[in-house]
A and B are shown apart, each in its own frame.
Chain A
Amino acid sequence: MKSPPLSRTDALCCIPVRNPLILENRLDSGEIMISYPETLKPWFAGILRKMKKEAEFRRIRKLQLDILGTGVWNLVDGKSTVTEIIDSFAKLHQLYPKEAEVSVIQFLRELGRRGIIGMKQITE
């Protein structure tokens, strides 16, 4: 059963955590190249798992972050919440808070969609 979607407030309190299967490569330009295993559709992954062929189909994809993306990536330390990352990013580039919030959330969502990060909920 699917868990109910988080409220906006709860989502902002989550801690983004890096997928331990990814590899990061720092380029000469200072930007970061991330290599990550491709996320398969759950139903397709299920079939492959039964056929024991999951590893054959799981390709490694690469994602090069630009300088702003690299900045956010460096802030994903497994300790900082989304709100803390937004605040640090806004301070780093003197951004308007709402602007930083929109761009960081968009970026984290994209990383999450690719399976590069997961979100850890803080339990009180």
Chain B
Amino acid sequence: MDWIMDPKWDEINWNSIRFLKPAGWQITNIGRNYLMLGTHGGPKMEITWESSPKSVSPRIGVKQLQTRILKRHLATATAWNPCPSWVQALSSYQTSGFSWNNSTHTGHGLILSCAFCHRTSLIQFYQTHPADDHFEAIVPRLLSSFRDHPEDDRLQWAVFDIRATLPANFQIKTYRFLPGFITICFCSKNEQITLYRWSPASVLLAGRKLSEFAGTLRFYPGDASEKMWDENRIEWEYHRSYGIWTRFLSRLSVGISHQRFLIRHVPEKNRILAVNAESKQPIDPSLFEQISLDYEITPA
């Protein structure tokens, strides 16, 4: 159980939910509003969350959410009084506790409701039999770092080894996490930002340049102006030709007419990162540059 002795903690930032966790607890399953963390030894923590609809009053919405979440995920749970250290760590949330038991695990969990964002989260901690003493030290620290809404108008994202910051109006649209390839697509009203990450770069770039690798990508803007900052950083920008007729059509159509794409090789991390922005109107250059700058590989 290396994670017990592991003093390293890292963060998870996923779709408005943020918390710190022992580095050894890794994501084993991920959904839009769902995370399961575990180690080689089995599951450690599960979290799911939902927001109440705007049409429902916050108090009723939270109550409905609590019932729905509990019904869906924990039909056999019984009420449980959380330890004072757990409650203290979550003093800004309305909390209720529950527990469950099966042949291999004991589970303790909390339902948290936030008065600020009207989001309800269900967190479960799994313990193997016999109960693990170290859990008591880990859970309060993890819970005290828990946040379910951003503190400003920027939303941070940190899962697996990538970290990014985007304006809060960019909502997650699609995502894929495959060995060697990660992509997350965000969209706002008129813009779409897609983040990409490939690894290991040493294998993908063996015998070829970054520009050659980029040329093989499906979304590579072939007919575009290319700016090569250096051998490890290339940028393309594409504007559809701008006649009156095209401009008129671009206003009517839902298709994109601007694309900006930055790809960079991070040799010290053995990764390739890319940001692709697609929009009807040219994307704000400072926004694109800030997103590209904030998009990074987390320290190991």
Give the B-binding residues of A (Cβ under 8 A): 8-9, 12, 67-68, 83, 93-100, 102-103, 106
> Would you list which residues of chain B between 139 and 182 have a CB under 8 Å from chain A?
160-161, 179-180
Q: Which residues on A sit within 8 Å (CB–CB) of B200? A: 68, 93-95
Contact B27 A98 (CB under 8 A): yes
The reply on B206 being an interface residue by CB < 8 A is yes
Of residues 1 through 53 on chain B, the ones whose CB sits less than 8 Å from some CB of chain A are 26-28, 40-42
Q: Which applies to chain B's interface (DSSP): helix, strand, loop or mixed?
A: loop
Q: Give Cα A102–Cα B28 distance, bound, in whole angstroms.
A: 10
B268, closest chain A residue (CB) = A94
With the chains together, A12 CA to B199 CA distance in Å? Answer: 23
Is B258 interfacial (CB 8 A cutoff)? Answer: no
Asked if residues B203 and A93 are in contact (CB atoms below 8 Å), the reply is: yes
Q: Which residues from chain B sit less than 8 Å from chain A, CB to CB? A: 26-28, 40-42, 160-161, 179-180, 199-200, 202-203, 206, 269-270, 300
Min CB distance A57 to B, Å, is 35
A38 to B258, CA, bound (A): 53
Is the Cβ of A96 less than 8 Å from the Cβ of B270?
Answer: no
- Which residue of B has the minimal Cβ distance to A71? B203
Contact present for A67 and B26 (CB under 8 Å): no
User: Is B206 a contact of A98 with CB atoms below 8 Å?
Assistant: no
Q: Contact check, B26 vs A93: say whether CB atoms are below 8 A apart.
A: no
8 Å CB contact of B180 from A67, A97, A99: A99
Chain B hits for A12, CB < 8 A = 40
Contact B28 A98 (CB under 8 A): yes
| Bound CA–CA A83/B184 (angstroms) | 29
**Complex CA distance for A88 and B255, rounded to whole angstroms:** 46
B203-A99 in contact (CB<8A): no
Query: B161: nearest residue on chain A (CB-CB)?
Result: A96
Bound together, the chains give a CA A97 to CA B203 distance in angstroms of 17
Residue of B nearest to A94 (CB): B270
Contacts of A96 in B (CB 8 A): 160-161, 199
Asked whether A99 and B160 contact (CB < 8 A) given A9-B41, A9-B42, the answer is: yes
Give the contacting residue for A102; candidates B179, B269, B300; CB below 8 A. Answer: B179
A83 to B41, CA, bound (A): 11
Contact B269 A94 (CB under 8 A): yes
B160 partner residues in chain A, CB cutoff 8 A:
96, 98-99
B68 to chain A, nearest CB (A): 30
A29 to B: closest C-beta gap in Å? 10
Q: A67-B206, A103-B180, A106-B179 are in contact. Are A95 and B40 (CB under 8 A)?
A: no
Q: How far is the CA of A68 from the CA of B28 in the complex (A)?
A: 23
User: Can you offer 18 A-B residue contacts whose CB atoms are under 8 A?
Assistant: A8-B42, A93-B199, A93-B200, A93-B202, A93-B270, A94-B200, A94-B270, A94-B300, A95-B199, A95-B200, A96-B161, A96-B199, A97-B26, A98-B26, A98-B160, A99-B180, A99-B199, A103-B179
Q: How far is the CA of A8 from the CA of B38 in the complex (A)?
A: 12
Task: Give the residues in chain B near A102, CB-CB below 8 Å.
Answer: 179
- Least Cβ–Cβ distance between B41 and chain A, in angstroms: 6
* B-chain residues with CB within 8 Å of residue A67 when the two chains form the complex: 203, 206
* B203 in complex: contacting residue of A68, A83, A100, CB < 8 Å: A68
Query: B residues within 8 A CB of A8?
Result: 40, 42
Question: How far does the alpha carbon of A12 sit from the alpha carbon of B203 in the complex, in Å?
Answer: 26
Most buried by B among A8, A98, A100: A98
